[in-house]
Every structure is written in C-alpha cells, then in structure tokens.
Amino acid sequence: MTTPSEGLARRVATVGAILVAAAAIDLAAKAAAESWLAEGGVQGFLPFVDLSLSFNHGISFSLFPARDPSSLTLLLGIQGTLTCLIAGCAVAAGSGLERLGLASMAGGAAGNLIDRFMDGTVTDYLDLHMGGMRWFTFNLADAWISLGVVLLLIDGFRTRRRHPDAGELTS
C-alpha cells in the first residue's frame, strides 16, 4: 500500500522527469539550430515545415516584445510564475493523462524560460507553411506546449464521456 507522501513523491518525480526531459530536448534542439542555421535563411525540411532561424523577443507570435531590462525582468517573472503554476497543477492532476499533458506544457514553458533567461530571446527554427502561405515559426518547446493542450483536451473528452453530467450547472 502506498502512503500519501509516497504517492506525492511519485507524482513529483514523474512531473519533474517529464519537465526536465522536455526542456533538455528543446534546449539541445535550439543549440543545434543556432549552430547549423544562419539567421533568416530557409532550408527545406518537410513538405510543410522549413528550418528557419529567428529570435523571438516577446511571447507567442512575438506579442509584447521585451527589449529592455525592466520589461525582460517582468516577462521572465511572469513566465517563471506560470511555469511553476503549471508544474504544480501537473503534480495535483487527477489522471495520468492530465498529469502528462500539464507536465509537457511545463517542460515546454521551462525550455522557453531558460532560453529567454540566457540571452533575452527565445530561439525559433521550425517554420510552418502550406502552399505559398507561411504561418509561424516555432520550436520544440512550443510543440510540447501544444501536445500538452491536446492531451488535456483528450482527457477532458474522456472524462466527459464517462461522466456526462459532470459539466452541467445546477440552479
């Protein structure tokens, strides 16, 4: 029989391992992209993804760029707080799939946080496109975050299917 503290320790270890692995893989891929790619150049990779090195000073889609020390400090503080909050939610998650999704999101967020802390920007290198239209450039950390969202949606749909009345409001 597992004691509550053993269960908590196991959840913390699982979330920590996923978070560290996701962040490490992301940071290694960013380092490889920085050493192999020239900024602004485009190399074919897959039919819908090119490799194109760029540096993001803001949050998603370059919103709210942080180019001075005070805005960078604020952005790092917000990003660090949210990363810790998501990791804490992962530890407290009720299902394994929810825990995996949140841990994946926390790992991606941690990868971007560490990258931004190192030089004030986040390295992007995966350029998504279809036909002649380019959508956005992202990195593995963003993919981990997106994967986490997908896993949370799947978990939510599975929970809803098992408990169809769980989301109804009563008066």
pLDDT higher than 80, residue 170: no
Give the highest mean pLDDT range of 18-27, 72-81, 159-168: 18-27
Residue 28 lies in a domain: yes
Active site residue 142: yes
Residue 33 lies in a domain: yes
Which tens digits make up the pLDDT trace of 12-53? 999 999 999 999 999 999 999 999 998 888 888 888 899 999
Residue 106 lies in a domain: yes
Active site residue 115: no
Catalytic residue from among 26, 124, 127, 155: 124
Residue 1 or 133, more confident: 133
Residue 92 lies in a domain: yes
Domain enclosing residue 110, as ranges: 4-162
The full 3-state SS of the chain, as one line of letters, equals CCCHHHHHHHHHHHHHHHHHHHHHHHHHHHHHHHHHCCECCCEEEECCEEEEEEEECCCHHHCCCCCCHHHHHHHHHHHHHHHHHHHHHHHHCCCHHHHHHHHHHHHHHHHHHHHHHHHCCEEEEEEEEECCEEEEEECHHHHHHHHHHHHHHHHHHHHHHHCCCCCCCCC
Q: At 2, is the pLDDT very low, low, confident or very high (cuts 50, 70, 90)?
A: low
Residue 170 lies in a domain: no
Number of domains, the chain: 1
Residue 169 lies in a domain: no
Q: At 62, is the pLDDT very low, low, confident or very high (cuts 50, 70, 90)?
A: low
Residue 74 lies in a domain: yes
Give the pLDDT mean for 142-169: 84
Give the pLDDT mean for 107-136: 92
Percent of the chain with pLDDT over 70: 90
Residue 55 lies in a domain: yes
pLDDT higher than 70, residue 169: no
Residue 118 or 41, more confident: 118
